[in-house]
Amino acid sequence: MTQTVPNLPSHPRLPWLPTPDPVQSPFTGWTRGHWEATADHWLEHIRDYSSPLKASPRLPGPVTRDGERREGMETIGRSLLMAAPRIAGARGEDRLGLAAWYREALLAGTDPEGAERWPLGVTCKSPLLGVTNSIVEAANIAFSLFVGREWLWEPLTAPEKKQVAGWLRHHARLEVWGNNWQLFPAMAEGFLRSVGEDVSGCTGARNVARVESWYLGDGWYTDGPEHSIDYYNAWAIHPYLWAWYKMTGREDTPEGRRHLERLREFVGTQSLMFASDGAVLHVGRSLAYRTAVLAAMWCAEISGVNPLTPGATRRLASGVLANFTARGVGVEGPPNLGWYDEHVGSCQAYSGFGSPYLAGIGFLGLALPPEHRVWQDAEEAQPTDGPGVVQPLPDAGWTMSTDGGLVRLTNHGSDHCGLPVGGGTDPDDPHYAKFSYSTHTAPGTGAAWEDNVDGHLALLGSDGVASRRCALRATRTDGLVSGSVHIPQLYGKTLPGTAVTTVSAVDGIYELRCHLVCGPVEYSVREGGHAVAGNHPGEAGLTGDTSWVNNGDVFAAVTAVHGWEVPGTTRYTDANAMGKHSTVPSLSAQRRGEETVHVALHALTRGPAPAPAELKSAAAVVVSGTEVSVRWASGTSQTFDLRTFVPWDGQVGK
């Protein structure tokens, strides 16, 4: 009997996709053949837009301020991440001639006198002097040469190897930003070391040690000394550490074994970030990389430390790829800048037309041979296919809830520090600073980010401008209850005499979000739920003290419990990566003192919309001063004091 996952997007039988196999893959229908066909199709787009010497393809899409030469280099460096495992796993059966094609591109790009030579990167301490992104592509190329060494590196002549090695070595010696970029020169050095090339003047071991010092726990690293937690763990930090320990022969050292254990833990927790229909939790920046989120899992599988079974691994990975493909990503042309459809508003200024091809590192599993169990075993359920699970990640300050057909993340750990860029707001911040994210909603961008309604507790001045959640001062997670303290920021400065403590308790499709707001009474407050988006406006309304939104698939609501007065909704157009039209439910209130408590019940589900009576009975809440007690309809209960739950020094904004 065929087993299927409800609501898995139906993908058309596109000419380049094999027939689904419901026996081997009862959840997705996808086999290795589907992965190979998708990789070949995406790589054919590169060749369709090739330049004469292959090093500077010009894909449709925007060009960054660094110019087309940089974008062409990025296109080759990132698409090679997909080509290398495709070549390696085929074991010489290179139907499209990818190995020879990419060798030509590499030689043209690294030729210092060539017509299509790539720009040489400069140290990040002087970014205005030239292009720095070459450092990233040097890492991508080094990783790819490592994966496909037999077919991409070994056939080169000695002078050709010297030329490519010289280009890599230049970038291996550069100083870079204090985040995941530390691994990029280390990656170039690691490959050079693995093939016996000169690595004098390189500092890879130092850079790796810096990144290892940012380890939080549960398999997760912060992306630099700031508290930025995102998918750079999955597509950069873990894969590049994994490759560096291998390339430098240190995999079996105490440090190498420690990283493999961290990799195992990471995959175990990250596996809860994918809904049963293949949707990926929408949080953090550079989300146009899409399937790159799978890279760390493939590294764990290759090294034998994957906590998932081979059948569950393929089911999870194929669900993600099938979901994006079903929604048109990479179907009619190269993957665009966006999530499903194009949405430049959720992308970064450093992203050009070739950037989305970093998705290729998520195809690393193709390096495993066809006879490997991950391709031969029947699909098995992934962790989010079963009944609802709540997984606290106390070291990251996150809690993941898998219920209602989606995954929800309660965020009391990541903030991106709220630093303004160019005198304005940081466009990355909506993907870090919200209190909650999910697999089927996205934070508002553009005008919606300026208003900052969704997923946020805002202090509002007389002009109606909303405060922002800047750097977290303290966090704590205790089972199903988590919390954080932040100093609100307005016009780029912290608000004098203010502080907000927020504590969340989760149960099924619900989150009870509680705030202790300290500050001048002149500031009113507003609480926003998830922004629900789609290609049509959907429905929204006010029922008593509840504000709700329903687009036919996702239902979100915010119900006033304590300290709130007025429910409302706000609509936007072209301000959300999930669809053209988005709507946010919210609550607002005037404050009656300099210390006020506000409690709201948030609901988010893809199941039947809860009736008003069900929302009312979901949680029995008692507020006494700053103490909150909740008894859920499920039978569980929690009690916490907003004043003491999150230990901190009590210093309000100055």
- pLDDT exceeds 50 at position 191: yes
* Residue-wise pLDDT tens digits, 505-527: 999 999 999 999 999 999 999 99
- pLDDT exceeds 90 at position 275: yes
**Which residues, at least 6 apart from 9, have a Cβ–Cβ distance to it below 8 Å?**
277, 278, 322, 323, 326, 327
**Tell me, what's the pLDDT at 242?**
98
Q: In sequence order, what are the beta bridge partners of 407?
A: 402
- Burial label, 10 (beta-carbon count in 10 A; 0-12, 13-18, 19+): exposed
Q: How confident is the model at residue 426 (pLDDT cuts 50, 70, 90)?
A: low
Q: Is the dihedral of CA 445, 447, 453, 458 positive or negative?
A: positive
Give me the percent of the chain exceeding a pLDDT of 90: 85
Per-residue pLDDT, averaged over 53-76, amounts to: 93
Q: How confident is the model at residue 2 (pLDDT cuts 50, 70, 90)?
A: very low
- pLDDT exceeds 90 at position 504: yes
Per-residue pLDDT, averaged over 388-415, amounts to: 94
Lowest mean pLDDT among 120-134, 206-220, 374-388, 628-642: 120-134
Structure-token pair, residue 576:
């959300």
**Which residues, at least 6 apart from 115, have a Cβ–Cβ distance to it below 8 Å?**
52, 53, 108
Per-residue pLDDT, averaged over 292-306, amounts to: 98
What is d(CA 575, CA 3) in angstroms, rounded to the nearest whole number?
Answer: 37
Tell me the average pLDDT of the chain. Answer: 93
Letter string b/e over residues 159-195, b meaning 16 or more CB atoms within 10 A of that residue's CB: ebeebbbebbbbbbbbbbebbbbbbbbbbbbbbbbbb
Per-residue pLDDT, averaged over 357-383, amounts to: 98
**Tell me, what's the pLDDT at 91?**
85
Distances (CA, A) of 498 to 351, 613, 652, 654: 37, 36, 5, 8
**Which residues, at least 6 apart from 135, have a Cβ–Cβ distance to it below 8 Å?**
121, 124, 171, 174, 176, 181, 184, 185
Lowest mean pLDDT among 4-13, 152-161, 554-563: 4-13
Contacts 24+ apart (CB under 8 A), 474-477: 474/646, 474/647, 474/648, 475/397, 475/412, 475/413, 475/646, 476/394, 476/412, 476/645, 476/646, 476/647, 477/392, 477/393, 477/394, 477/397, 477/398, 477/399, 477/412, 477/413
**Tell me, what's the pLDDT at 654?**
64
pTM of this structure = 0.95
**Tell me, what's the pLDDT at 8?**
55
- pLDDT exceeds 50 at position 420: no
CB count within 10 Å of CB 115 equals 11
Q: Which of 487, 472, 514 is nearest to 600 (CA)?
A: 514
What is d(CA 588, CA 110) in angstroms, rounded to the nearest whole number?
Answer: 58
**Tell me, what's the pLDDT at 421?**
37
**Is residue 11 within 8 Å of 325, Cβ to Cβ?**
yes
**Tell me, what's the pLDDT at 423?**
41
Give, in degrees to the nearest 5, the angle at Cα 433 between 424 and 456. 100
Per-residue pLDDT, averaged over 323-341, amounts to: 95
- pLDDT exceeds 60 at position 241: yes
**Which residues, at least 6 apart from 193, have a Cβ–Cβ distance to it below 8 Å?**
199, 204, 247, 248
What is d(CA 350, CA 346) in angstroms, rounded to the nearest whole number?
Answer: 12
Per-residue pLDDT, averaged over 477-505, amounts to: 93
* Residue-wise pLDDT tens digits, 111-152: 999 999 999 988 887 666 677 899 999 999 999 999 999 999
**Is residue 324 within 8 Å of 318, Cβ to Cβ?**
no
- pLDDT exceeds 90 at position 407: yes
Query: What is residue 620's three-state secondary structure?
Result: strand
Q: Is the dihedral of CA 379, 380, 386, 391 positive or negative?
A: negative
Please state the separation of Cα 377 from the chain's center in Å. Answer: 28
DSSP letters, 302-344, are: HHT--SS-HHHHHHHHHHHHHHHHHTTTTTSSS--SBSSSB-G
* Residue-wise pLDDT tens digits, 150-177: 999 999 999 999 999 999 999 999 999 9
Q: How confident is the model at residue 10 (pLDDT cuts 50, 70, 90)?
A: low
Domains and CATH numbers, the chain: 39-376 (1.50.10.20), 389-641 (2.70.98.70)
- pLDDT exceeds 80 at position 651: no
Q: How confident is the model at residue 15 (pLDDT cuts 50, 70, 90)?
A: confident
What is d(CA 415, CA 434) in angstroms, rounded to the nearest whole number?
Answer: 8
Structure-token pair, residue 309:
């079974």
Give, in degrees to the nearest 5, the angle at Cα 171 between 168 and 174. 155
**Is residue 519 within 8 Å of 488, Cβ to Cβ?**
yes
